[in-house]
Each structure stands twice: as structure tokens, then as C-alpha cells.
Amino acid sequence: MSSTSNPISIKLTEKRATSGQDIHGTINLSYDSRYDTVVINSQIEDSSGIFKFVELNGRKIDYPYPRLSIFEKDISGQKKITFTARTTHRPSDASTKVKFRVSIIQEHKEIASDISYLILGN
């Protein structure tokens, strides 16, 4: 889904992971207009399991929710955001698909988004 014309993109270092393993992501932001937040959503397919965010731009955080909002004032001027997420979810099947989605939000409206996937296995 990434495109050179897309003002935001997300890349995951890992393509496959297991429960308890750190997932590393990089968001590239080339949006030069005004915005309120960058939002990272994680979703484990066919599950109520979640990822918790444990690091943002090299700083340890403890954010136990699948949706992380990052205010523009907290990243002002940065074009690259890095994060680490982790889950304790174990798929009921051999593996399941995981989606990480990043969005630029301005006045409650989504300006642009991108998605990256990985496989979570046992």
C-alpha cells in the first residue's frame, strides 16, 4: 500500500513474530501541512488480543492499548518515528495475520494512512 506520493508510510522490520517478541516499526512522515496527531493502530485478526506499545523514538513507554496517538507537538519537525510493540497473544491456529495501520489526523478527519502486515505464529 505504500506509495511515494503517500505523505505517511509504515514499515515493520519483522514479517513473522511469536508471542512475547518485540515488533519494530518505522513511520516516515512527509506531510508538510498542519495536523493534530499521528495514530498507530494494531489489530490481531479474528482475536481480541492486543499489542502494547513499549518504546517510542528510543524512549521506553508503557502504553497497554492497541491505539497510540502521538500529538504533533510531541514530534514537531520529525520526519521519522520509530516504535516497538509486543503482544502476549497466542493464536488459536498455527498463525494469524496482524495489521499495523498509521494515520495522519487533522480536526477529527483522516488525511492519509498506510498499512503494514505481519504473521503472528505459535
- Give the tens place of pLDDT for each residue, 47-95: 999 999 999 999 999 999 999 999 999 988 899 999 999 999 999 889 9
Residue 93 lies in a domain: yes
In a domain, 3, yes or no: no
Domain that holds residue 16: 8-117
Give the span between the Cα atoms of 64 and 84, in whole angstroms. 12
113 beta partners: 103
Q: How many domains does the chain have?
A: 1
List the CATH number of the domain containing 102: 2.60.40.2410
Question: Looking at the domain assignment, is residue 122 inside a domain?
Answer: no
For 82-114, the pLDDT digits (tens) are 999 999 999 988 999 999 999 999 999 999 999
Q: How open is the CA angle 3-21-50, to the nearest 5 degrees?
A: 70
pTM higher than 0.85 for the full model?
Answer: yes
* Nearest-angstrom CA–CA distance, 90 and 121: 7
pLDDT cut 90: percent of the chain above it: 89
Where helices occur in 1-116 by DSSP H, the ranges are 72-75
Does residue 72 lie within any of the structural domains? yes
